Amino acid sequence: MTIRVRPHHLLCMLTFVGKGYTPAFIENFEEIARRIAAGNEKVEVVEGPDDICSAYLTDKNCHCHNASVAERDRLAKEALANLLQQPVQPGQQVLLTSDTLHKMRTAFVAGTIRTACNGCQWKSLCDEIAQNDFLGTRLLNH
């Protein structure tokens, strides 16, 4: 089975500690992180709402289709493509091995892949998590 993920969620996964927009969103994200951590499923980059968004799409405050979120995706695609030295675009599969996640987390701490995070309501939480060596994160915790 393939897990569909929009580009900026590849960054969000690095600091996910079980907080989110709604209880359904959190529960869904927990399940996706568990599936990815198990290492049995592929992650495919998609444009627009993804499997993480799916539990949030019924919320009237859902921002998944907003232009600002599409811009976050664009910035994340660019930053991650440079870091991973491979395209990060719709249809592309990304292998989230522990080595890849370590590389992404190192760049996250250095700030080199965080342009998509500017203006995000979760930025300060993610800053704190990164400064604490990603303790408590759900995805392939190192």
Determine whether 61 is exposed, middle or buried from the number of CB atoms within 10 Å of its CB (0-12, 13-18, 19+). Answer: exposed
Q: Are 134 and 141 in contact (CB under 8 A)?
A: yes
Please state, for a pLDDT cut of 70, what percent of the chain lies above it: 89
pLDDT in tens, 51-72: 998 766 565 666 666 678 889 9
User: What is the spatial distance between Cα 59 and Cα 125, in angstroms, rounded to a whole number?
Assistant: 22
User: What is the spatial distance between Cα 16 and Cα 125, in angstroms, rounded to a whole number?
Assistant: 10
Q: Are 88 and 45 in contact (CB under 8 A)?
A: yes
pLDDT in tens, 75-106: 999 999 999 999 999 999 988 888 899 999 99
CA torsion 33-104-78-124 (nearest 10°) is 80
Strands 93-94 and 42-45: antiparallel
pLDDT of residue 125: 96
CA torsion 104-108-33-73 (nearest 10°) is -90
Residue 42's DSSP bridge partners are: 2
Average pLDDT, the chain: 89
Question: 109 to each of 21, 42, 87, how far by Cα in Å?
Answer: 24, 25, 22
